[in-house]
Amino acid sequence: MARRLRALLLLLIAIAGWAVAGSDSIAVGDLPPQARETLRLIESGGPFPYRRDGVVFGNRERRLPMAPRGYYHEYTVPTPGAGDRGARRIIAGAAHERYYTDDHYRTFRRIRE
C-alpha cells in the first residue's frame, strides 16, 4: 500500500511539473553545451565537478511543484569565464523530471527530452 501511495505521489508531482512548465520549457538540444554535459553526468551518476552537486534542493521559493523534502536535487551547470559556480543549475526530480535555471532559481524551464 505504501509503495502504491508513493508511486501515485510521484506521478502527481510529475504531472504538476508538466502543468507548471507549460510554455516555459526548453528542448535538450537548445540547452547550452555545459547543461547537456551536466544532464549526461546526472544520468550516469557522476562524477560531478562541484562538491555541492547532488545536494537537496529545498524549493523554498515554491517555483517548482511542491514535493516532499529530498525530492529535488541540484546540479551546477558551469558558466564559462565565471570564477565561481555561476548562476546556472539543473534541478532533478525523483520522477526524472529536469528543470533548467540560468538566473539562480528566479525562473525555471522544464527540460523536454
Q: Which residues are catalytic?
A: 74, 104
Beta strand residue intervals within the chain, DSSP E: 25-27, 72-76, 89-93, 98-101, 109-112
Residue 32: Cβ within 10 Å count: 15
**Residue pair 69/59 in contact by the 8 Å Cβ criterion:** no
Q: How far apart are CA 101 and CA 85, in angstroms?
A: 13
Residue 24 DSSP SS3 = coil
Grid cell 553545451 in the structure block, residue:
33
